[in-house]
Structure 1
Amino acid sequence: MLIGELSRRTGVSERLLRYYERTELIHSERRANGYREYDDPTVETVRRVRALLAAGLPTRVIGRLLPCTSGDTTLRPCPGVLTSLRAHLDVLDQRAADLEAARDLLRRTIDATETTAGPAADGRPGPDRSGSSR
């Protein structure tokens, strides 16, 4: 299949597919006219790449992980990949902890602001709490 068909079948832009090829995540054969020709299993490979990217893995790790996957997306033992995956999991765990801390701070700030200033703290007109009439 040509790159346009691969793009339609995967929902990935042709430009991004060319990038995947440059980074050796996918491969094509060249026709005599220079057009890229992809085989049917490339569709699943692109889907696997997208899933691994969505999991937060960088393309360099994905490139090392793809040879460890079979057609049904199960992983086989692959030298050196486990260390990279564990390192990336540590990074994701730290990001999750940082986000949780930021969320907790935001919640505490909102709660403190509402307690101190009342519901009008968001800038909307609220009741006059001064005791005087307007």
Structure 2
Amino acid sequence: MRIGELADRVGVSTRTLRHYESLGLLPGRRGSNGYRVYDDADVRAVREIRMLVGLGFALEETRPFVDCLRAGHERAGSCPDSLAVLRRKIAEVDESVDRLRRVRAELGDQLVEATHARCEFSLFSP
């Protein structure tokens, strides 16, 4: 299939696909007519990239998953490099959750203090 067909099947622009190709995430195969040529493996790779990007992965972080699919594995996350990226990403999410919990607690404390101070002000105001 040509680039426009791939773009339609996976719901991205041809510009996005060219960008993936420039990063080496998609092969740069050309047909005898000079047009880019893609197959079902490319559809699967782009869908995997889009899913991972949707979860917050940077494009470069998707490379081990794409490589795993290209190596013939059924699941993109089943290769050691993919598993390492998943573990690292989970650690990053855990750190973010911890940071957000601390921010939430601080905001709650500030709200309690502000509410308490306002109530005291109201009691002593003429």
TM-score by length of 1: 0.68
Between the aligned residues of both structures, percent identity stands at 33
CA deviation profile, 1:87-132 (whole Å, cap 9, x unmatched): 33222211221122222222332333233336xxxxxxxx9x844x
Q: Is the 8 A contact 1:28 1:39 kept in 2?
A: no
Over alpha carbons, which structure has the higher Rg?
1
Is 1:105 equivalent to 2:106 in the alignment?
A: yes
Corresponding residue number in structure 1 for 2:94: 93
Structure 2 equivalent of residue 122 of structure 1: none
Query: TM-score when scaled to structure 2?
Result: 0.72
Number of residue-to-residue matches in the alignment: 121
User: Structure 1 CA distance, aligned partners of 2:76 and 2:106?
Assistant: 40
1:37 aligns with 2:41: no
Alignment gaps of 5+ in structure 1: 119-126
Letter in 2 for 1:53: V
Q: 1:80 to 1:4 in 2, by over 3 A?
A: closer
Q: Report the CA distance shift for 1:117/1:63 in structure 2 as closer, same or farther (over 3 A).
A: same
Unaligned stretches of 5+ residues in structure 2 = none
CA-atom RMSD in angstroms: 2.8
C-alpha displacement of 1:63: 0.9
Structure having the higher helix fraction is 2
Q: What does residue range 1-134 of structure 1 map to in structure 2 within 5 Å?
A: 1-69=1-69, 73=75, 75-76=77-78, 78-117=79-118, 130-131=125-126
Q: Deviations over 1:14-65 (max 9, x none)?
A: 2221111122222242134432121123222211111122233333332122
CA distance in 2, matches of 1:62, 1:130: 61
